[in-house]
Amino acid sequence: MAVGCLFVAFALCAALMPAQNDTFWHLRAGADIWRTGAVPRVDHYSHTFPGAPWPDHEWLAQVLMFGAYRLAGMPGLQLAAAALLLGAVVLTWRLMVGPPATRAVVMTIGLVLSSSVWALRPHVLSLFLLAVLLTMVVRERYRLIPLLFVLWANAHGGVVLGGLALATAFAVAALRWRRSRDPADARRARVLAVVVALSGLACAASPLGFSIYRFVVESTGRSIAIGITEWFPLLPTDRFGVLFWAIMLVWLGLLVHRRRELAGGRCSSWADWVTVATALMMLPLAIRSARNTGPFVLLAVVAANRLLGADFRFRAVVERLRRPRLPAKPPAPDRPRLNLALLAIVSIAAVAAIGVVFRFGDALLGWRPISDGALAATRACDGPLYNRYGDGGTLIWFLPDRPVFVDGRQDPYPLPFLLEAVALEARRKPYLHLFDQWRIRCAFLPADSETAADLTRDGWAVRFKDDKWQVLAAPAVPAAPQRR
Model pTM score: 0.92
Predicted pLDDT of residue 325: 57
Predicted pLDDT of residue 445: 96
Predicted pLDDT of residue 225: 87
Q: Which residues contact 2 (CB under 8 A, 6 or more apart)?
A: 100, 101, 104
Predicted pLDDT of residue 444: 97
**d(Cα 415, Cα 409) in Å, to the nearest integer?**
12
Per domain, the residue ranges of the chain are: 2-321, 372-473
Q: Which residues contact 389 (CB under 8 A, 6 or more apart)?
A: 226, 406, 407, 408, 410, 418, 421, 422, 425
Predicted pLDDT of residue 482: 46
Q: What is the mean pLDDT of each run of 10 residues along the chain (484 residues)?
A: 88 93 96 94 95 93 97 96 95 93 89 84 95 96 96 94 96 90 90 96 88 84 86 85 89 88 74 94 92 92 90 69 60 81 93 94 93 95 94 96 94 93 87 93 95 94 95 76 45
Q: Which residues contact 88 (CB under 8 A, 6 or more apart)?
A: 127, 128, 130, 131, 298
Predicted pLDDT of residue 481: 44
Predicted pLDDT of residue 321: 61
Cβ atoms 114, 131 nearer than 8 A: no
Q: Which of 153, 55, 170, 47 is nearest to 412 (CA)?
A: 55
